Each structure stands twice: as structure tokens, then as C-alpha cells.
Amino acid sequence: MTEPGRPLIGVTTSTTIGGAWSRYSAGHKMDYLYREYTRSLVLAGGAPLAVPVVGERGVLAAVLDRLDGLLLSGGPDILPARYGQDPQPGLGEVDAELDEMELTLAGLALESRLPILGICRGLQVLAVAGGGSLIQDIRAQVPGCLRHDQPADKAVCTHRVRVEEPSRLREILGRGELWVNSGHHQAVETPPPGFKVAARAADGVIESLELPGERFVLGVQWHPEGTSAWDPPSLELFKAFIRACREVPA
């Protein structure tokens, strides 16, 4: 049992290649998760649970049945075929197995009305799972863009975003402008049906999407887990997510 009052939050993992079993093997695939995600959820009152890269839809559905909320974490680029595009110059590394898992998981979570928080790639997963599309490389496709892949520590805020009103994000943060960290080169191009833009950067790049209504379905392009230890708005985003997860019917 989880600690009373702490909802159980599934957090998606990414894949890396570990050491070889022997000189005859090429290495092991390992699922990993940056500690800032779990630390932020604990600070906000949640109980995090890492979700490994599993391809079976039935297994993912069984996992979701036990969760009170889902956090879609950051990671590599999404395969452009998933949103009906050919690869363009500037596309980075993709992981087809991770795409299959997270897009399936996001689709199931949307169907079951589970609270969802998407961060960086997680925002993009939400967009693609809902039928939207992505900008494959901001520098190549957005004239006059800001530098969104800042070479700075995750704890450093590097540019501002404008928070739309009305929006759930505006209600949570209580402000119309926000300084955020930035470590991405892709972004949402076309929001999926039913979603609305909740924040943009000065160059027009979408920085947040949400699903209007009582459900908590929200994605941000920045990394609030990297600043939650010192930045009240970052922690408040996690706290709002946890509050929504506590309201999920048993």
C-alpha cells in the first residue's frame, strides 16, 4: 500500500545500452529514469513508480489500472512516421520501441481519463497520441527562432514563455509570464483535436498544451523537474498534478 494521501504515479522510462554480457554480446538494453522526476513527485506529495519499456498493450493496461496518474517523461525524438511525415534534416535519434510503448500508454490513459502530465518529449507524445504533429527541428523549420536547446544546467532558466488566459496552466501558476529552462530541439506543430495551446515562447513555438475541462491533461515543453527544488511555480505544477491524481475514483 502507498502512504496514505500519496497517489501512485507511473513515470515512463527511456532506454540506454549497458555493458555487454560477454565479449560475444553487443550490450544490454536498460530502462532508466532521471531522479529529478521522482524527487519532484515526492516533494509534491506523490509516490512515483517507474514504468519500463514494455510493448504488450495488455500489460500496459494492467499497469494503468493500478495508477492514479501518469507522468510522460523526456527522451529522444519521436519517429516522424508516427505523425505522417518523412524524416527531415535535423531529426535526432529515435527509439521505435519507446514510441510504441509511450504512445500506447498515453492513448490508454486518455481513454481511461487518468490525469496526465507530459514533460518535454512527454508533451510531444501527448500531441502525437491525440493526432497532432511535430516540428522535427526548430532551427531548421522556424525562422528567427530562439535557441531552445540551451547549453545550460537543467536548474538554470534561460527564456520566457507567455501563459495564455484562460487556461489551466494560468490558474495553476497565477501568472502570465514564466522563466523556464530549455533543452529541446523539437516542438508541437499542430495540436491534436480538442487540445488548446496554454503557453508559447516569444518566437511562437508552442510551450504547453492542455485538454480543456475538468480532466488534468497537461504538457509542458520545459523541464520543471529540474527547477522544482528552488522555483515555486515549478513545484506548484507538480502539486496541481498530484491534487488531480488524489481525486481519481478508486
Cell 530502462 sits on residue = 31
Cβ-based burial of 129 (10 A; exposed 0-12, middle 13-18, buried ≥19): buried
With 0-12 CB in 10 A as exposed, 13-18 as middle and 19+ as buried, what is 220?
buried
3-state helix, strand, coil in the chain (%, to 5): 30, 25, 45
Asked if 113 contacts 119 with a C-beta cutoff of 8 angstroms, the reply is no
d(CA 14, CA 94): 11
Cα gap 136→144, rounded to integer Å: 16
String of DSSP letters for 43-83: HHT-EEEEE-----HHHHHHHHHT-SEEEE---SBPPGGGG
Catalytic residues: 120, 223, 225
Q: Pinpoint the alpha helices (H) of the chain.
A: 35-44, 57-65, 96-111, 121-129, 138-141, 168-173, 232-246
Whole-angstrom distance, CA of residue 181 vs CA of residue 30:
27
Hey, is 135 helix, strand or coil?
Answer: strand
